[in-house]
A = this chain, B = another copy of it.
Amino acid sequence: MNTEDQDTRWMNMAVKLAEKGVGLTSPNPCVGAVIVHENQVIGSGFHEKAGLPHAERKAIADGTARGNAALFADSTLYVTLEPCSTTGKTPPCTEAILEHHFKRVVYGSQDPNPRHRGAAADILGRAGIQVTRGILEKECDHLIRGFRLNMLEGRPWVIAKSAMSLDGRISRSPERSQWLTNEKSRSFVHTLRAECDAILTGGNTMRLDNPSLTIRKPDRPVSSLKEQPWRIILTHNAASIPADSVCLTDEFRDRTLIVENVSSYLELLKNLYNERKTGTVLLEAGGCLVREFLKAGLVDEWVGFYAPIITGGGADGVTGGSFLEREAFLEQPVVSIFGSDVCIRGDVSYR
């Protein structure tokens, strides 16, 4: 394999490692790192939680623990995101890289944080370390799509999830099962919750469905470091939320917030990000609230489940009315099959 193929191969491994941190690292991004010496991985790691070491330092610690520190000066460090160069809760990663004087550093994404952006390449380059940027940039950028938005707009990344019939409805006749989608889909929703720091819902959903909005039966293992997401209930009248609602009475009730009379969803989101460090929130709500978020251009990612049922009635996934002034488009949607259900997921752009 040539260098480019090698770079792609090891960066791909770093991406896979970074993915293990999805949902854990807010307000930090998820990052993975691999140290390679003569085509052998001699150290690797990923960022697990804000306050814990960054991926680069985890990989260095791993390599050191495996007795490979002496090889670092002849090794390449692959990292999905440009190493940080300032002191936050932990010291800058550039320092650790200089200390071991890696031969080469390869990274995928530029850091969207203006305090770091482009700085690492300069610092490392001046010390004679070869730097290659932009390997698997698209994949690496995808990992930090929420973090980038956090940096640029000071608000959380919003994923809207809706489980619909084939005709776009979200409810069934009262005498039938409350569920449209099957257990596999619902289990994936728990995994999706584990990607997020908070779940937003409306008072109506609380009154009608009394959901738990917790991670209980994900379809993939979830890190023990993962806390249950915040549950944010938007309502015109806090007293209208039944006092015996699961979210208000279960063991995670201290992570439920009721927010009354939101006048600006953007401000709400900014406050959540500033006060609770919620880098990603999941909107699990009825069609009215989903429509409001779409109208405001505040749905950043769409996860739509389609169950193989036509109900012909009931509430809409997105409440109807006039056309959205800006239609929401899914960029390169990814289709997943859950038994007989179909899931269509993608980042949203507005046009």
Contact = CB atoms under 8 A, between A and B. Distances in A.
Contacts of A154: none
A346 interface: yes
Contacts of A306: 306, 344
Which among A302, A329, A333 has the highest number of chain B CB atoms within 10 Å? A333
Contacts of A331: 308
Interface stretch (A56-64, A65-73, A317-325): A317-325
Interface residues of A, number: 43
A193 interface: no
A125 B321 CA distance: 66
A229 interface: no
> Residue among A308, A309, A333 with the most chain B CB within 10 A?
A308
A226 interface: no
A54 interface: no
Highest count of chain B CB atoms <10 Å: which of A169, A320, A331: A320
Interface string A166-180: 111100110010000
Contact of A304 (B166, B173, B291, B302): B166
A329 to B, nearest CB: 6
Interface in A220-254: none
Interface in A122-180: 164, 166-169, 172-173, 176
Given A172-B323, A311-B324, A313-B323, A342 B342 contact: yes
Contacts of A337: 335
Contacts of A320: 169, 312-314, 316
B168 A308 contact: no
Contacts of A317: 166-168
Interface string A325-341: 00111111101010010
Given A318-B167, A327-B172, A332-B340, A346 B310 contact: no
A164 B169 CA distance: 13
A294 B318 CA distance: 22
B314 A167 contact: no
B168 A323 contact: no
A323 B312 contact: yes
Contacts of A340: 330, 332-333
Contacts of A295: 312
Interface of A: 164, 166-169, 172-173, 176, 291, 294-295, 302, 304, 306, 308-314, 316-318, 320-324, 327-333, 335, 337, 340, 342, 344, 346, 348
